[in-house]
C-alpha cells in the first residue's frame, strides 16, 4: 500500500495498475489506497483457480472459497461495483468432481468477473502436483468443463460491459486497434479495451469518451475531450 501511494504521487499522468499474483496481497489497506488516488486503476486481478475449497487445498492455494469471497466483498464495499475484477481458472485439476466443477461456475456467478484467463489442467513435470497427484481427469471431460467456464465468462463479460454503456470514461491510448489502422485502442481504469476513431487522438493521449456500444470483449467510445487536465 505504501509503495502504491508513493508511485501514484509521482504524477497524476502516471497511470498505475496493481496486478496481484495472490489474493492475500489485496488487503483492506491496499484497497483504500487504490480508492484514494484517481491514477491508480480501479481494477484488480484476483486469481482464484477453483471455486471449491477441497480443490484449492490440493492446489496449495492457502485460502478457501469463503475467504476468497470475503476479499471480493471487501473490493465491492471499498471500491464499488464498477471496479474491474479478473481471474485465473484451472478446470480438471486432479480428482476434481463434477460437483466441484459446478462450485467454480457458481463462484463465477457470485463474483461476476469482467474477464478471466481460463485453462484446463495439464501435468507439468517437477511440480508439486505432478509429484503428489495422478492426472486422472480424462481430456474430454477437461475440455467440456473448460468450454462451460468459457461460456459462463462470456455471458458475465457481456453483462459487465453493458453496465458501461453511455458512461463517460478516461482512457489511455495504447496504439492502433488489432483489426484496423482506422481505429485506436486504449484502456479504461477497469482495464477494458476501448476503441475510438484513429483520426481523433494518438498513442499516449488521455481521452475522455462516452461509451456508445459494447461487445463481449470490447467497448466503443465517442471522443469528448483529448488530454483533459488531470487533478
Q: Mean pLDDT in each 10-residue stretch from start to end of the chain (231 residues)?
A: 96 92 93 97 97 97 97 98 97 97 98 97 83 92 98 98 97 95 97 96 97 97 95 71
Domains and CATH numbers, the chain: 2-162 (3.80.30.20), 168-226 (2.40.50.140)
Q: What element of type H or E holds 176?
A: strand 168-176
User: Looking at residue 74, what is its pLDDT?
Assistant: 98
The 8 Å CB, 24+ separation contacts for 156-159 are: 156/108, 156/109, 156/112, 156/113, 156/114, 157/113, 157/114, 157/115, 157/216, 157/217, 158/214, 158/215, 158/216, 159/112
* pTM to 2 decimal places: 0.94
- Burial of 138 by CB count in 10 Å (0-12 exposed, 13-18 middle, 19+ buried)? exposed
Q: Which of 90, 170, 98 is nearest to 129 (CA)?
A: 90
Distance between CA atoms of 99 and 91, rounded to whole angstroms? 12
User: d(Cα 195, Cα 183) in Å, to the nearest integer?
Assistant: 6
CA distance 1 to 101: 34
Spatial strand order in the sheet of 43-45? 43-45, 84-91, 115-120
> What pLDDT is stored for residue 126 in this prediction?
80
Cα of 185 vs its chain's centroid, Å: 18
pLDDT of residue 21: 77
Amino acid at each position: 500500500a505504501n509503495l502504491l501511494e508513493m508511485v501514484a504521487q509521482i504524477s497524476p499522468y502516471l497511470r498505475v495498475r496493481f496486478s496481484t499474483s495472490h489474493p492475500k496481497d489485496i488487503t483492506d489497506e491496499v484497497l483504500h489506497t487504490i480508492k484514494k488516488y484517481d491514477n491508480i486503476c480501479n481494477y484488480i486481478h484476483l486469481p482464484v483457480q477453483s471455486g471449491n475449497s477441497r480443490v484449492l487445498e490440493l492446489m496449495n492455494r492457502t485460502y478457501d472459497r469463503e475467504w476468497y469471497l470475503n476479499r471480493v466483498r471487501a473490493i465491492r464495499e471499498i471500491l464499488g461495483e464498477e471496479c474491474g475484477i479478473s481471474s485465473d481458472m484451472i478446470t480438471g485439476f486432479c480428482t476434481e468432481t463434477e460437483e466441484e466443477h459446478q462450485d467454480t461456475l457458481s463462484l463465477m456467478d457470485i463474483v461476476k468477473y469482467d474477464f478471466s484467463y481460463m485453462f484446463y489442467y495439464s501435468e507439468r513435470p517437477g511440480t508439486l502436483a505432478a509429484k503428489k497427484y495422478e492426472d486422472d481427469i480424462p481430456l474430454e471431460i477437461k475440455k467440456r468443463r473448460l468450454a462451460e467456464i468459457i461460456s459462463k465468462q462470456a455471458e458475465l463479460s457481456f453483462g459487465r460491459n453493458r453496465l458501461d454503456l453511455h458512461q463517460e470514461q478516461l482512457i489511455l491510448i495504447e496504439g492502433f486497434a488489432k483489426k484496423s489502422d482506422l481505429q485506436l485502442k486504449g484502456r479504461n481504469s477497469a482495464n477494458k479495451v476501448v476503441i475510438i476513431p484513429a483520426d481523433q487522438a494518438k498513442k499516449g493521449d488521455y481521452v475522455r469518451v462516452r461509451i456508445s456500444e459494447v461487445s463481449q470483449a470490447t467497448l466503443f467510445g465517442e471522443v469528448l475531450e483529448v488530454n483533459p487536465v488531470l487533478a
